Amino acid sequence: MSTPKREGKVWLVGAGPGAADLLTLRAARAIEGAEAVLYDALVPAEIVELAPRGALRIETGKRAHRPSMSQAAINRLMVKLARRGLRVVRLKGGDPSIFGRVGEELEHLARAGVDAEVIPGVTAASAAAAQFQLPLTHRGVARRVVFATARTEGGALRGDWRYEAETTLVLYMARDSLEAIVAALREQGMPDSTRLAVVENAGRDNARLLRGSAGNAAALASAITRTAPALVIIGDVVEARQDYGSPNGLLKSVISTTVGTEIAA
């Protein structure tokens, strides 16, 4: 009597900002039970290594301006592996639902009749805020948070960039378009005194914080490390950051690396 073929499944898993101890328990268990792992370039080896020794591991790339597997190829590969009856983990940096193309992948899997589940992760904005004690909301300062991607097409800035008071604007993938976005916001009335922060490698032990203002966005942009993933936080919450007491652990080591990186307004 033949054994019925096992149905495969795909888990779309958020790997968080990079530190393995910021994975959710559900994410860690999914990786530990995977038979195939498709992981993005920003996912560190220590997280990929949680997969079983015999699991298939495939890097998909997904770094700006670097060679990577196309989204169409990733979609096909997930379906192919799942149809072989494998437990497939699609491992993404941060949270899959925030600029992680999770909608496209869920749609493709559903059309192919493949079961899928999304496991959230810590997004870069939350990691950066926690690591450097930057409150994304603050009573009397910011009562809303906007997450936006800062991509451009053919050198032209996409999006309707409008300044709103009492708002924290968090820009993903903004390293190359920071000056253009700030210029657009200034045209809409954002004061030159509005505070800016750039966090490189958020959530990792080599994270770095740069601070400045809208009026010196060009100097701030020029100070960003060209090879590091960077997150931009715009709003007066940047000024609310204080060094409370004597932080310990990762936070202490990270703050010590930021001394002298302040860019004066």
The pLDDT tens digits of the residues spanning 99-132 come to 999 999 999 999 999 999 999 999 999 999 999 9
- Among 119, 151, 176, give the residue marking a domain's end: 119
How long is the chain? Answer: 265
Q: Does one domain contain both 133 and 98?
A: no
Q: Is 9 a catalytic residue?
A: no
Beta strand pairing call for 208-213 and 195-200: antiparallel
Question: 């670097």: which residue's tokens?
Answer: 66
Least reliable range by pLDDT among 1-10, 91-100, 196-205:
1-10
Whether 1 is in a domain gets the answer no
Helix (H, G, I), strand (E, B) or coil at 210: strand
Q: Is 40 a catalytic residue?
A: yes
Query: Could you tell me the CATH number of the domain that includes residue 236?
Result: 3.30.950.10
**Cβ-Cβ contacts under 8 Å for 251 (sequence gap 6 or more):** 131, 133
Beta strand pairing call for 36-40 and 87-92: parallel
Total domains, the chain: 2
Residue 265 has pLDDT above 80, yes or no: no
- CA separation for the pair 246, 248 (Å, rounded): 7
- CA separation for the pair 18, 12 (Å, rounded): 16
Whether 252 is in a domain gets the answer yes
Q: What would the mean pLDDT of 142-164 be, rounded to a whole number?
A: 75
* pLDDT (0 to 100) of residue 128: 93
CA torsion angle 95 101 103 107 (round to 10): -130
Q: Does one domain contain both 86 and 210?
A: no
CA torsion angle 106 112 117 121 (round to 10): -40
Residue 122's identity, in one-letter code, is V
Question: 């999914």: which residue's tokens?
Answer: 30
- CA separation for the pair 43, 243 (Å, rounded): 29
Angle at which helices 249-257 and 124-131 pack, to 10 degrees?
A: 80
Q: Note the Cα 9 to chain centre separation in Å.
A: 25
* pLDDT (0 to 100) of residue 253: 34
Q: Does one domain contain both 45 and 102?
A: yes
Q: Note the pLDDT tens digit of each residue in 241-255.
A: 554 443 433 333 333
Q: What would the mean pLDDT of 143-169 be, rounded to a whole number?
A: 78
Annotated catalytic residue: which of 5, 9, 40, 205?
Answer: 40
Annotated catalytic residue: which of 5, 62, 80, 243?
Answer: 62
Q: Which residues on neighbouring strands pair with residue 37, listed in sequence order?
A: 57, 89
pTM of the entire predicted model: 0.83
Q: Pick the residue with more confidence: 159 or 126? A: 126
Phi, then psi, of 86 in degrees rounded to 5 = -90, 155
- CA separation for the pair 236, 137 (Å, rounded): 10
Domain that holds residue 134: 124-257
Q: Are 257 and 200 in contact (CB under 8 A)?
A: no
On the 0-12 / 13-18 / 19+ scale of CB atoms within 10 A, 78 is: buried
Q: Note the pLDDT tens digit of each residue in 202-243.
A: 988 889 999 999 999 999 999 998 888 899 999 989 987 554
Q: 3: pLDDT confidence band, cut at 50, 70 and 90?
A: low
Whether 264 is in a domain gets the answer no
Q: Does one domain contain both 79 and 183?
A: no
- CA separation for the pair 93, 40 (Å, rounded): 7
* Mean predicted lDDT score pLDDT of the chain: 85
Q: Does one domain contain both 112 and 205?
A: no
Query: Could you tell me the CATH number of the domain that includes residue 62?
Result: 3.40.1010.10
- Among 119, 138, 171, give the residue marking a domain's end: 119
